[in-house]
Structure 1
């Protein structure tokens, strides 16, 4: 029993150490998808072995083995953010609408939250959900011209500009699946509320396998970011927030990954509602923005849960 526990602890710690090199080796970054269970396993095994150890030096050494797991499970928390009354404000929403059987549930969710801009992934042509969204958000753009791509941005206000970023078959993982809209301070929606100066992206990245596809897509996204301080990127990145590839992308562009506090996928399996296992849908913001609140949406029939975020830009 002790031998198996020691072996398990060593394996967990070695994997957690190897995951730190995920930024250099994409294969090792896959370990970060399982960082939470590995950290929990290392904690349980270290505490079990420390409790059974007969000498204090051994107990201390085993308790020190808890540090890597604690660092993963209890990362540094950011302080609550507030903005003054003169700050510019924006509300955005994101949902991967994978095979929604009841588009009215998504419509009800958006009607309750009233976001000004909505990003959607896996929104196939011919779905009733497209009509539902266009009724509420008359300005839209997909990642390919003519709406021939399942990643889209919808807005109540006419953007100053919009650009489809896919150059190829994005829906079959052969091109970056992304779209962007640019807004200015003079842009107003149907509610006459001015939209701040910003560039908003909707992104749907490939899955972690085959290794290398996500890295290529993020490098392509780098080319379109430009002045990233005012940028907002929302999407299904198919990566956990612990993955080095995502962190490195944010760091080199001066961006921050916003923790949602709850997993976003999977929300259902075979029709059964689940709390989720991974946060793979993310909001990434430039330094000009502050996220005052982010809320995970209800089960709306997709296998993902969406989110709504309230943002502000301090005056001056």
Structure 2
């Protein structure tokens, strides 16, 4: 991907205290001359803090703790990202190139989609599991075959199921230590992806592309957690990394990791553009479905988990949706999370 490597190199141009000052944020409201810009930044920063407390199952004080172990771990992680030697970076699924072609082609028919899925037995199993999960199944009817899934969900619906089926095995817990984190990250990722997909539909944009990029931040979180654990174990320390170490790793490097994932998987240029627009919105640019979807998805996932989140009336300050549109998105997320 032309330009992606220079973008990554530019991220690492600042180091030490300067990098700390420029720490990327998960949510990046569009900036401008509005007097509420500073207020909005504070709102999303608090929301991000609540998310880390939930995902890492730690109180705020533990995530702010400074330890002597933070710097060496992050230095190694930064070097691996810079050198593109992240050992836990998921490799591209074998069928992804064919699937990306068929997913981006509006003229694709159901038989073409079915044939590609059936060519990969593991993808077939994952797809049927996902299609029958409460997140996607439209009713009580059991979906028994890939052709049936395509028929019931339609081509638009099956595109999102395929994206989830591709990523689900990569985000499944490997052991009991990461089980809670993996479960919560997957739930959060699905909420953000579904919200981004719905907002893209409202705005007449590519729904399947926004669903997939909506899952990438969650995949970057599990990737970074595993890499930090790998670095930590290599140092000879058998204890779990401190929550503050993990929070800093996730906060600093999640957008860099999403771009590396998109590059590793050779995703189309527009996927990189969606990620970059959410990470670094230009002054006064239009809101992006990904940024708005992540804010709404995060708020609803936290609210449903009975965690501190954000007042409902504040959402309308942050996203480019009217009250009725926001209510539709929230209703769909609530139904998904409750099931």
TM range (shorter): under 0.3
Higher RCO (CA 8 Å, separation ≥ 6 residues): 2
Kindly indicate which of the two structures has a greater share of residues assigned to helix: 2
Pick the structure with greater CA Rg: 1
Kindly indicate which of the two structures has a greater share of residues assigned to strand: 1
